A and B are shown apart, each in its own frame.
Chain A
């Protein structure tokens, strides 16, 4: 496996493409519609605002890292020895490689092919799952700009499917402030019916409805989510400030980077020695 960190489809992880938490793209490929192809990268559009804590070892305050452990050998397993498996019976697994997964839908693994455009307002909010942004890769900037501008002017959105690891995502591409947003959708059959919880009497009290409509109109405003902040987050930040003042901070022992020296340093060292040889 190439990436040691939790990834879409890894067991116990919710498998949305954002789980990789990469600074650079989560995925790279091409958007296509008709005869136009735009190279892009998929990046995250939202970041959970929860103040996040790290787990530490209480002995030395070293941060803890998540690693995979083999119960049979009683030892930690390096990332290159981790494979994906499908359970075919109790304790029996079928190993499946990334290449095999890509073979299931190769045409959708690197291409977001917009098959249809739709009027954005036709999509009920229930279908939306998780948002991302697409950013143009080198050479794709102009066609990207065109697609964003034209979808914005026409209030249209593009529909496509794409495959990341073991999952296929129906997606909607829309324009947002000059950028392209990609929002994964739920499949229609994943949306549950509500017939069983609807009110037993369907009758609407007209008088009551009129009264409610009046109060709604009185409270009508423009949507501005900036007005609302997570009160708990502020309380945690206040607590942290107080603790920083009262008890100070702790320091973890320094740890050498895993994987040792990178090749860049090696090349720099070689070049440096070459230079010295030449000078002599």
Chain B
């Protein structure tokens, strides 16, 4: 079942307008921890503390500033900030379409399902058209006082909307300072053969969270007062550059 509807709007381009409701699409399943004070196990609270006086500061004495450089700020009124908020609108404006394969997953942020909010005629036709063309609509909209960039896609009969990161939020690979290493044709060939040998089809339903159950087991054991055997993680010794070809060949032999 889809998550609850969080927003209503309409997909728009040309003379088409398709009213939709946005639903959340993912629900994470995890164990929640809290921060405690070690001596007495009391649950801790977060407080904002003045870096100069080292004392907690109540909300009424807090103000907002933009840091120009260490210790120098421009003060900003909340009312003035509010004025920079985008004008509210109910339109998901599609600017252009791209082939879905062109969207690097690094840009994908959050996924919503779209539910038709009126007669499904336009919705169904749009979903079918996008699916047949393998296209995604690049769109912008305003939701809860924020402007979003997104990709509108179809999967089967369903329309989905993925928010996208703005281009300048993605750190360029060039800033990682990677050095190029020369690789021999043989290394590349055997590396390719090995990866092809190890390739299977993507079956996400087989990928279960085994860790969650083990963690629950650990907590139950601790709750019963049993002692936990501590296991240290091991670090694998790295494959030396002059041993790479040998390791690839031995790997290939093993899987072939």
Q: From B33, which residue of chain A is reached at the shortest CB distance?
A: A84
Contact (A59, B61) CB under 8 Å given A45-B106, A231-B86, A252-B73: yes
Interface contact A85-B13, CB-CB below 8 Å: no
Interface contact A240-B76, CB-CB below 8 Å: yes
Complex partner residue of A250 from B32, B72, B104, B146, CB under 8 angstroms:
B72
- Chain A hits for B49, CB < 8 A: 64-67, 76
Q: How far is the CA of A133 from the CA of B169 in the complex (A)?
A: 14
0/1 interface trace, chain A 37-53, chain B, CB 8 Å (1 if under): 11100011111110101
Jot down 24 A-B pairs with beta carbons below 8 A, ordered by A: A11-B35, A34-B248, A34-B254, A35-B239, A37-B236, A55-B64, A60-B52, A67-B48, A71-B45, A86-B34, A88-B223, A96-B222, A123-B105, A131-B105, A139-B238, A143-B239, A150-B195, A167-B30, A178-B180, A189-B29, A209-B128, A215-B14, A232-B84, A240-B74
0/1 interface trace, chain B 35-60, chain A, CB 8 Å (1 if under): 11111111111111111111011000
Contact (A36, B106) CB under 8 Å given A141-B179, A168-B209, A179-B173: no
Contact (A99, B230) CB under 8 Å given A30-B238, A70-B37, A116-B199: yes
For the complex, would chain B's binding face be called helix, strand, loop or mixed by DSSP majority? mixed
Interface contact B207-A187, CB-CB below 8 Å: yes
> Interface residue count for A (Cβ, 8 Å)?
174
Contact (A191, B25) CB under 8 Å given A85-B36, A146-B188, A221-B98: yes
Q: From B199, which residue of chain A is reached at the shortest CB distance?
A: A117
A102-145 contacts to B (CB < 8 Å): 102-111, 114, 116-119, 121-128, 131, 133, 135-137, 139-143, 145
For the complex, would chain A's binding face be called helix, strand, loop or mixed by DSSP majority? mixed
Interface contact B44-A96, CB-CB below 8 Å: no
- Chain A hits for B120, CB < 8 A: 199-201
Q: How far is the CA of A223 from the CA of B47 in the complex (A)?
A: 44
Nearest CB in chain B: distance from A191 CB, A: 6
Contact (A142, B75) CB under 8 Å given A57-B62, A178-B178: no
Q: How far is the CA of A125 from the CA of B227 in the complex (A)?
A: 43
Whether B2 is near chain A, meaning CB under 8 Å from some CB there, is yes
Interface contact A34-B47, CB-CB below 8 Å: no
Interface contact B45-A68, CB-CB below 8 Å: yes
Known interface pairs A37-B239, A85-B33; 18 further A-B residue pairs with C-beta atoms within 8 A, sorted by A's residue number = A12-B46, A35-B248, A61-B63, A66-B49, A71-B43, A72-B42, A84-B33, A88-B223, A104-B214, A109-B233, A111-B234, A117-B195, A146-B187, A150-B188, A188-B205, A197-B21, A209-B128, A220-B96
